């Protein structure tokens, strides 16, 4: 998995490419943790190039969302979610936990 982060004035954009599974989810968690440890809690996650999201990846998203929403500091929004991953989120009942956007620009602009 390739991971890039970009800091903007109002939020941070994290983009992943490849598989987010039990081997690579800790890298994703660490990227999110670096952002939240720096006191920034508005995160957009661009999933346009993600091929697969395992339960470990789902746990990373949920944990980050809980951290960001604590005391109404911010939130994690998802951008360009592939259809297959959207179906997984829908099946597990996680859609209501996240705001979803068609592209990264819309997600970043939501803050």
C-alpha distance from residue 91 to each of 13, 16, 97, 99 (Å) = 26, 22, 13, 16
- pLDDT at 28 (0 to 100): 96
Residue 41: both structure tokens together: 């809690």
Residue 2: both structure tokens together: 């390739």
pLDDT digits (tens, 9 = 90+) for 9-58: 999 999 999 999 999 999 999 999 999 999 999 999 999 999 999 999 99
- 3-class DSSP state of 6: strand
pLDDT digits (tens, 9 = 90+) for 18-27: 999 999 999 9
Which domains occur in the chain, in start order? Answer: 2-109 (3.30.750.24)
- pLDDT at 41 (0 to 100): 96
Q: How big is the CA angle at 56 (ends 44 and 105), to the nearest 5 degrees?
A: 15
Q: Any bridge partners for residue 43, and if so which? A: 12, 76
Largest CA distance in the chain: 35
Asked if residue 62 lies in contact with residue 88, where contact means CB atoms within 8 angstroms, the answer is: no
pLDDT digits (tens, 9 = 90+) for 67-104: 999 989 999 999 999 999 999 999 999 999 999 999 99
């Amino acid at each position: 998995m390739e991971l890039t982060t970009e800091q903007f004035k109002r939020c941070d954009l994290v983009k992943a490419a490849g598989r987010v599974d039990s081997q690579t989810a800790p890298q994703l968690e660490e990227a999110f943790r670096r952002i939240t440890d720096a006191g920034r809690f508005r995160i957009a996650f661009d999933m346009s190039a993600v091929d697969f999201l395992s339960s470990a990846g789902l746990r990373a998203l949920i944990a980050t969302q809980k951290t960001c929403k604590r005391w109404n500091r911010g939130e994690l929004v998802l951008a360009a979610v592939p259809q297959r991953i959207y179906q997984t989120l829908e099946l597990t009942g996680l859609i209501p936990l996240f705001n979803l956007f068609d592209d990264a620009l819309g997600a970043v602009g939501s803050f």
